[in-house]
Amino acid sequence: MNNKEQKNKIIIYDGGSDDQPRIEVRLSGGTVWLS
């Protein structure tokens, strides 16, 4: 595994009452939530 792939991880999973999949983008500095 390359460190570049582990640095930026994009996890997509459906959760919540909105029935909309939430996209979690983890950067080396913080976490950004896109709904």
Query: pLDDT per residue over 1-34, tens digit each?
Result: 455 555 556 666 555 555 555 666 666 666 666 6
What pLDDT was estimated at residue 15?
56
Which DSSP letter does residue 2 get?
-
Domain tally, the chain: 1
Cα dihedral: 31, 8, 15, 13 (round 10): 180
What pLDDT was estimated at residue 23?
65
- What are the φ/ψ torsions at residue 28 (nearest 5 degrees)? -70, -10
Q: Which domain holds residue 25?
A: 3-34
